[in-house]
Amino acid sequence: MANKKKPIYFWLRLDNNFYKNLAIKKVRKMAGGDTMVVIYQKMMLSSLDTSGVIYYEGIYGKLEEELALMIDEEVEQVAMTLSYFTKAGLIQIDDNQNVEMSQVSALIDQETNWARYKREQRKSNKLDNVQSLSNERPTEIELEKEIEIKKETKLEKDVDVEDEKAKEDDNAKAYESLVSLFEENGFGTIGGLVSTDISNELKDFAEANNDDYREAYKVILLAIKLAVSNGACKFSYVWSITKGWYQKKLFTVKDIEASEQKRKDEKSKQSRNSFNRRPQKQEPEKAVISESEQVRSYSDDEYQKAMEKLKNLKTKAE
């Protein structure tokens, strides 16, 4: 699988037409205009990682106060900048006081740390080649090495692109399969919020497994099966299961099954211990008969004498 998600770096590309813009030219002729241009540029930079939008959080009562705190500028100058560039059409403020920087979408650029590294490496290779050529003609071996380096660089770039594409494909397939499963098992139609929840759950478990969306899909599938088997076909029930697993750091099906087996073993052990602690049935004590109470046993002579006495008694009675 691909490595963990790479950091992305953003920047503005100001071409030579930026200061030719009539709105920029006009403001620079105003008192404090250059400061307003700097504030405008700082606001654009602050909006890079949110696609050109600065979201108002309501920390202060006024938008200009919150922006002044964010970019370390004076409130009055920020207010003047907002007023001017809004009228010029370069800034738009919606009903929720969110600020959209109109020029950012055309000026933004980005790259990952890996792309930055490769760019610097290529730059370094060019410098090395220039130094080599200035000293002497490269040998055939050196040329072969250079070709191999270029091939390896291209191969690494292709592998990186393929990994990203494979990850996106796995994500899309997992999402589509989960949507079908939810709808087929009576959870209801997938709307905007539920769709977002599915994407977020997939992303959370995938990132916990080195961007493995296939494993993330298996985890959510297991949660769906549990919900269906318990007759609780509700999205909230499924998310409560996945939330519990995530909090316990059970990110794979293997982890979840091992945890469940451990729970069953502990429960069985407790049940056996409880049985062993029950009072055992005691046998009634046998009565002990003293020698005086025991039936006396007679010898043969004594028995004969007793029988003769009995006969004599009968004869006298007759």
Task: Let me know whether 33 and 102 are in one domain.
Answer: yes
31: left (phi over 0), alpha (psi -120 to 50) or beta: beta
**pTM of this prediction?**
0.38
79 Cβ contact partners less than 8 Å away, ≥ 6 residues apart: 64
Q: In this prediction, what percent of the chain has a pLDDT beyond 90?
A: 25
Task: Let me know whether 153 and 217 are in one domain.
Answer: no
User: For position 239, which CATH number holds?
Assistant: 1.10.10.630
Judge whether 292 lies within some domain.
no
Q: What is the pLDDT of residue 256?
A: 92
Q: Is the pLDDT of residue 172 over 80?
A: yes
Q: Is the pLDDT of residue 40 over 80?
A: yes
The least confident of 217-226, 239-248, 261-270 is 261-270
Task: Express each pLDDT in 48-73 by its tens digit.
Answer: 878 888 998 888 888 999 999 989 99
Task: Let me know whether 45 and 129 are in one domain.
Answer: no
Task: Let me know whether 133 and 199 are in one domain.
Answer: no
Instruction: Tell how far CA 89 is from the center of its chain.
Output: 40
Q: Is the pLDDT of residue 155 over 70?
A: no
Among candidate residues 60, 82, 108, the one where a domain is terminated: 108
Judge whether 31 lies within some domain.
yes
Q: What is the pLDDT of residue 296?
A: 52
The tokens describing 166, both together, are 């494979």
How many structural domains does the chain have? 3
Q: Which domain holds residue 159?
A: 113-165
Contacts of the segment 66-70: beta carbons below 8 A, 24+ positions apart: 67/43, 67/99, 70/46
Judge whether 294 lies within some domain.
no
Can you tell me the mean pLDDT for 117-130?
55
Among candidate residues 230, 251, 271, the one where a domain is terminated: 271
Judge whether 196 lies within some domain.
yes
Task: Let me know whether 18 and 89 are in one domain.
Answer: yes
DSSP character string of 217-282:
HHHHHHHHHHHHHTT---HHHHHHHHHHHHHTT--SHHHHHHHHHHHHHHHHHHHHHHHHTSPPPP
Q: What rounded mean pLDDT belongs to the chain? A: 77
Query: Could you tell me which residues are beta bridge partners of residue 99?
Result: 54, 93
User: For position 79, which CATH number holds?
Assistant: 1.10.10
Q: What is the pLDDT of residue 285?
A: 56
**Top mean-pLDDT range of 40-44, 108-112, 168-172:** 40-44
Task: Let me know whether 104 and 133 are in one domain.
Answer: no
Q: Is the pLDDT of residue 2 over 50?
A: no
Judge whether 41 lies within some domain.
yes
